[in-house]
Structure 1
Amino acid sequence: MTIQLLLADDQAMVRGALAALLDLETDLQVVAQVGRGDEVLDAVRASSPDVCLLDIEMPGLDGLEVARLLAREAPGVRSLIVTTFGRPGYVRRALEAGASGFVVKDAPASELAEAVRRVHAGLRVVDPALATESLYGGASPLTARERETLLLAMEGHRAPDIAARLFLSPGTIRNHLSSAIAKTGTSTAVEAAREAQSRGWL
């Protein structure tokens, strides 16, 4: 039986390289490729893949949000995070979002193919080093700028005021806050700041 795959990565060269490597495996077939997170669900409906390989940082929706969306809207499709960002803090969040696995892009092609097979079989696959680190709390997924922005938000400052203090545009500040909110699984900047603080990220 051929395992059908969808690749979601905003870097066309990386996406093409992954597709070429995976298509060398006799039991794997790439049936769809997209460059944005918000294109994944439509592509899943059109191509009916068994496993989606998702990058984390993509326009539209990030890979973790896509994994959560797939778990809700297409529960028969497995998702595997394949990313450059091998941060332990992402592993726990990926699994909580509904992803079946988490591997880094510099893993050998044979390991990636085996990860796909294991995920398709209903197993969970996590890079061993990252799994160990995540058990001990993991690293913060927040960037330095996101932490700085959240600290000011926690003090009661709004986006225009934060922008003035950090010499950035209000739009950039809203992007940082939105990213931090997504990463903490909360609804507002203040909630995100409190959650990040409770996890020792601030």
Structure 2
Amino acid sequence: MVRGALAALLSLEPDLEVVAQVGRGDEVAAAVAAHAPDVCLLDIEMPGLDGIEACRQVARSSRRPAGPRVLVVTTFGRPGYLRRALEAGADGFVVKDTPADALAEAVRRVHAGLRVVDPTLATASLLDGASPLTEREADVLRLALGGAPVATIAADLHLSGGTVRNHLSAAIGKTGTTTRVEAARVARDRG
């Protein structure tokens, strides 16, 4: 519903045309290849593939030499997500409650080659700094968030149980928490 509403609002703009919509992150690259959009709007959380990875794929799958520009439009306005999206190649990051005229202007600015970032998130991102977690610690915490036991996490990530416990211990220390579930929630909440 939200995707359809955003598309309808943007279609009302005389200089903007919505050329495609997909409901899953793992459908984005094919749609980009088929329709060659100038700007691709992505959410962080999508079924099939998250918006961060979809953003990376957009750059690799495009028929255009520079690929389409990417604007992340999400309800997950967290500094960690902003940082990860920009690192993945996003050109802009705004929250879904951005007014329609401001969203259309963000699309135009991103199309023009400018970077558009929600100012509140930009400030929070600068103040929070980079994530203290390694990529592997973040992977372990993602699985721990769902309550997976150490043996399952180890099997899913092709690690030993001891290595998983070491990553969990490091992540607990870095997040200032006392349990792996608490560490996973803090990491999730910070993006």
Q: Normalising by structure 1, what TM-score?
A: 0.68
C-alpha distance in structure 2 between counterparts of 1:148 and 1:40, whole Å? 25
Question: CA, structure 1 residues 191+47, in 2 after alignment: closer, same or farther (shift >3 Å)?
Answer: farther
Question: CA, structure 1 residues 72+83, in 2 after alignment: closer, same or farther (shift >3 Å)?
Answer: same
Partner of 1:159: 152
Question: CA, structure 1 residues 90+194, in 2 after alignment: closer, same or farther (shift >3 Å)?
Answer: farther
Question: CA, structure 1 residues 189+128, in 2 after alignment: closer, same or farther (shift >3 Å)?
Answer: farther
Partner of 2:189: none
Question: CA, structure 1 residues 31+193, in 2 after alignment: closer, same or farther (shift >3 Å)?
Answer: farther
Q: 2:76 aligns with which of 62, 80, 85?
A: 85
C-alpha distance in structure 2 between counterparts of 1:87 and 1:53, whole Å? 17
* Structure 2 residue 40 is matched with structure 1 residue 47: no
* Structure 2 residue 152 is matched with structure 1 residue 149: no
Shift of 1:16: 0.9
C-alpha distance in structure 1 between counterparts of 2:167 and 2:31, whole Å? 31
* Structure 2 residue 10 is matched with structure 1 residue 18: no
Moved more, 71-80 or 116-125: 71-80
Partner of 2:91: 100
Q: What's the RMSD between the two structures over aligned residues?
A: 3.6
C-alpha distance in structure 2 between counterparts of 1:135 and 1:64, whole Å? 19
Gaps of 5+ in 2: 158-162, 177-182, 184-191
Aligned-residue identity in percent: 65
Shift of 1:71: 2.3
Question: CA, structure 1 residues 158+122, in 2 after alignment: closer, same or farther (shift >3 Å)?
Answer: same
Q: Normalising by structure 2, what TM-score?
A: 0.72
Alignment partner of 1:103: what SS?
A: strand
Moved more, 47-56 or 63-72: 63-72
Q: Which has the higher strand share?
A: 1
